[in-house]
Amino acid sequence: MKLTDFDFELPKSLIAQNPPENRTDSRLLVPRSTIIDSFFHQIASFVTPGDLLVMNNTRVIPARLFGHKESGGKVEIMIERLLNDRQVLAMVKASRAPQIGSFITLENGDKAQIVSKEDGFYTLDFLTDSLHDLLDNVGHIPLPPYIERDDEEVDLERYQTVFAKEDGAVAAPTAGLHFDNELLSSLKEKGINHCFVTLHVGAGTFQPVKADKITDHKMHREYFEIDQTTVDKINQTKKSGGRVIAVGTTAVRSMESAAKSGTLKATKEETDIFIYPGYEFKIVDMLITNFHLPKSSLLMLVSAFIGRERMMEVYQHAIENKYRFFSYGDAMLLERLL
């Protein structure tokens, strides 16, 4: 397949710049024999007791930092991954590339040393007793590049799921942003349970595929975990005839990576799984997801899930009916193409 097979024209006015007033106010598109236009707070109408929601409980860290080099030149740091209690992998923007061994002074006076550089990413060593405290004090929420405004106080809460727990993401698992605690409780009362995986979303999630032949694309790597409790819940759901509903593409990638042997297993590892049309899903039956960027690997994953032609029909319907796109946008509930 060619990259042009996954392109579409999106009016800029449909790119959501702010979250809705309430999380569950988002619209929900449900493709069945016809396309149903609904709202997220009505999602219980489209799922069944015994189904299982699998959610990504990663927590977005304040990964964007500003400072200056020893020469005084301005620097912007975008953390890609936490390596340990002091070191990170990051992209560093400056008028001139900083030298290995040099120091960056942050806005609060703390310092970070440039340790090394490989494949466009720097390893930085923050000279602090608590990296998490430093990030909480001077870090900014790393809003995606298509949100054309500075981060605000509201983003501290709203660019984070209500079930976020494990620090490490530099982008939100956005399908989870539509849930609030009240909705989760009401779903559980109706027999629709949930469990968690952890996948720390990297900045690579926003990178477009550039290879004309999509099979030539090299995926970015992301760390994920799936524990035995979640494996057991998924297996029991399957055994009982329920459906496994991935809340977001990150949950899909986690489960399908953990089942690459054919059997779902508890694991802690990195994945660079690339799901595109022709992929045979092993675990996931339904998918809750936002609307994705043209030519993106996530759009290809959705195409694998419901078929490329159907995906293009759904996206055209969303555009014509003015759904909101991307991170703060609306959602879809998709059933897997059999």
Q: Quick one: pLDDT at residue 204?
A: 75
What total number of domains does the chain contain?
Answer: 2
Residue 115: strand, helix, or coil? strand
Give the domain range for residue 328.
3-60+154-335
The reply to whether 102 and 222 lie within a common domain is no
The reply to whether 184 and 325 lie within a common domain is yes
Query: With contact defined as beta carbons under 8 Å apart, do 68 and 74 qualify?
Result: yes
The reply to whether 52 and 74 lie within a common domain is no
The reply to whether 85 and 207 lie within a common domain is no
Specify whether the backbone of 224 is left (phi greater than 0), alpha (psi in -120 to 50) or beta.
beta
Tell how far CA 278 is from the center of its chain.
Answer: 22
Q: For residue 62, what are the CA distances in angstroms to 69, 128, 155, 179, 234?
A: 21, 16, 10, 22, 32
Q: Please tell me the pTM assigned to this model.
A: 0.94
Q: Phi first, then psi: give them for residue 166, nearest 5 degrees.
A: -100, 115
Query: With contact defined as beta carbons under 8 Å apart, do 60 and 159 qualify?
Result: yes
The reply to whether 103 and 228 lie within a common domain is no
Low-confidence ranges of the chain (pLDDT < 50): none
What are 54-110's pLDDT values in tens digits?
Answer: 999 999 999 999 999 999 999 999 999 999 989 999 999 999 999 999 999 999 999
Pair type for strands 244-247 and 286-290: parallel
The reply to whether 160 and 130 lie within a common domain is no
Pair type for strands 74-82 and 87-94: antiparallel
123 within a domain of the structure (yes/no):
yes
The reply to whether 217 and 274 lie within a common domain is yes
Residue 197: strand, helix, or coil? strand
Q: Quick one: pLDDT at residue 207?
A: 75
The reply to whether 206 and 317 lie within a common domain is yes
* All residues at 6 or more sequence positions from 264 whose CB lies less than 8 Å from its CB, including other chains: 226, 231, 234, 235, 255, 258, 282, 283
Domain boundary among 82, 111, 140: 140
